Structure 1
Amino acid sequence: MTELTKNLYRTVKSLDERKTRRKENAFKAEGTKCVLDTLGHFTLRYLFATYEWLETHSQQVKRLSGIGTVVKVTRNDLSRMSSLTTPSDVIAVYEIPKREPEFSNLSHGLILALDTIQDPGNLGTIIRVADWFGVREILCSAETVDCFSPKVIQSTMGSISRVKLYYGNLPDMISKTKAPAVYGTFLDGESISEAKIGEDGIIVIGNEGKGISKEVEAVVTERLLIPSYPQGEVTGESLNAAIATAITLAKFRHV
């Protein structure tokens, strides 16, 4: 058990910023569910919690012996360090894992590829949807929002523990997987209700406003359409990226 210093407080608070997360190679998770779901999946540096929280979760805290530093704090301390509108009783600070994709292992099963997803809430929900449908790897363009930002972590509701995300040049990463098929949704694609889809492949989800970029479109082999209903009537211009992900994965999982 240690005390909260000014430098430690400032570091935790500044983890809201991507440049600080990169500099410190750390991110934070907040809230009892999110913290308990992520403990043991990432290397813990610090656990900041109130006396009441530590008493209630004493068994979990005991298992942290020798793993991370536990810091007893007040609700006011947590409020000052928190990224949430309504701060919780616990914040965990983890090391960002170093991940390099093993492309030879990504040629089977379903994989998501995200082409410049920019909204943290969308990314967090996509990660939750992937977790629900058993997708364990997501390839992300370098321009996709940081999956370790507090808003994304909060939106995943713990699913970040089970889904690995890799960032880089998306067309290159897709090509290196040697996946049997690369699916993308387009307005001129074949209806997803009628298309023949396999058990393996990569599903590309495009940017919220611009869709799939030309560079990524060049590596797509199967063009799909999520049809509106009833067909021919005026509807919204597009679907939310997370909703489109859920519909597409449900189809592939034959739900």
Structure 2
Amino acid sequence: MISQKWQKQIRLLQQKKHRQELGAFLVEGGKSVLELLKADFTIQALFLTDTFYKENQKLLDEQPFSFELVEESELEKVGTLQSNNAALAIAKTKENRPLRVEGSEFALILDDIRDPGNLGTIIRIADWYGIKKVICSETCVDVYNPKVISATMGSFTRVQTYYVSLQSFLEQEQTKAIYGTFLGGESIYDLTFADSGYIVIGNEANGIRPENEKFVSKKITIPRFGEAESLNAGIATAIVLDNWRRGVKP
């Protein structure tokens, strides 16, 4: 049974201010917890159903910490998922360390992405296309939000994030190619990307903010052939990265 102490902490960690105070976050669901166990995060507590333990006994028995077997109903009662028949972990957050592109590398820059599902999906898409670094404006949703973590499906363990004032960051990175997504710009289907640089994705409703737009060296667009007004930020990211990846030498 999950103790009152841990139940209280699990509920506190559903709020950003408490995640920051405690330096910890929640990871829920079998897929995400398995990815966490294989990564370099420090795990403070782990609660498992008997079924999940039996399915992953070898990996779990190799861990240097103890875990507790609980009922599925307990995980659903204290966690954020409507259905969780596997596991819930509490892990330490990582330090917000500076990230920049190095060598022949591309990174994503996210300007004011507010929706947790969008951020989680973008991190998962970045992982799929081999992007290891995501730079977030200070107004982006917290990467350790439980909905973000769940939406990444474990990709949060492989993609690094860095929260920073984009205006000052972009000002320092002017020697790099900086591509930004706009409704008006060069078609991504006609574009040849540089060997390294950044791709900026803007807010779901308002796009890239004017104070950051001025640092974009190349405005790009996904051509529209129908009548839809706009694209979801996650979908736009996937389309842009797919076209970028097509031009990358193997």
Coarse TM-score class (shorter-chain normalised): over 0.9
Structure 1 residue 12 and structure 2 residue 10: aligned? yes
The equivalent of 2:93 in structure 1 is 96
- Structure 1 residues 25, 102: closer, same or farther in 2, change over 3 A? same
The correspondence of residues 1-255 of structure 1 with structure 2, limited to 5 A, is: 4-41=2-39, 42-65=41-64, 68-103=65-100, 106=102, 108-177=104-173, 180-229=176-225, 235-254=227-246
Tell me the amino acid that sits aligned with residue 204 of structure 2: E
- Percent of counterpart pairs with the same letter? 37
TM-score by length of 1: 0.91
Q: Write out per-residue CA displacement over residues 97-121 of structure 1, whole angstroms, 9 at most, x where no aligned residue.
A: 1131244x54641110000001111
Q: CA deviation at 1:206?
A: 0.2
Contact 1:123 1:242 in 2 (8 A): yes
Distance 2:71 2:232 in 1: 39
8 A contact 2:96–2:163 mirrored in 1:
no
Instruction: Tell me how far 1:238 sits from its aligned partner.
Output: 1.0
Q: Give the Cα separation in 2 of the matches to 1:56 and 1:247.
A: 36
Separation of aligned partners in 2, 1:241 and 1:192: 16
Supply the distance in 1 between the matched residues of 2:190 and 2:205 (Cα, whole angstroms).
Answer: 26
Q: What's the CA shift for 1:242?
A: 0.6
Change (3 A) 1:43 1:227: same
Root-mean-square deviation (CA), in Å? 1.7
1:118/1:102 CA distance change after superposition, 3 Å: closer
Superposition deviation, residue 162 in structure 1: 0.6
TM-score (norm 2): 0.92
1:72-106 per-residue CA deviation (whole Å, 9 max, x = no partner) reads 22222212221011123210111001131244x54
What 5-or-longer segments of structure 1 have no aligned partner? none
Q: 1-side partners of 2:185 and 2:7: how far apart?
A: 51
Structure 2: which 5+ runs fail to align?
none
8 Å CA contact retained: 2:72, 2:86: yes
| Matched position secondary structure for 1:111 | strand
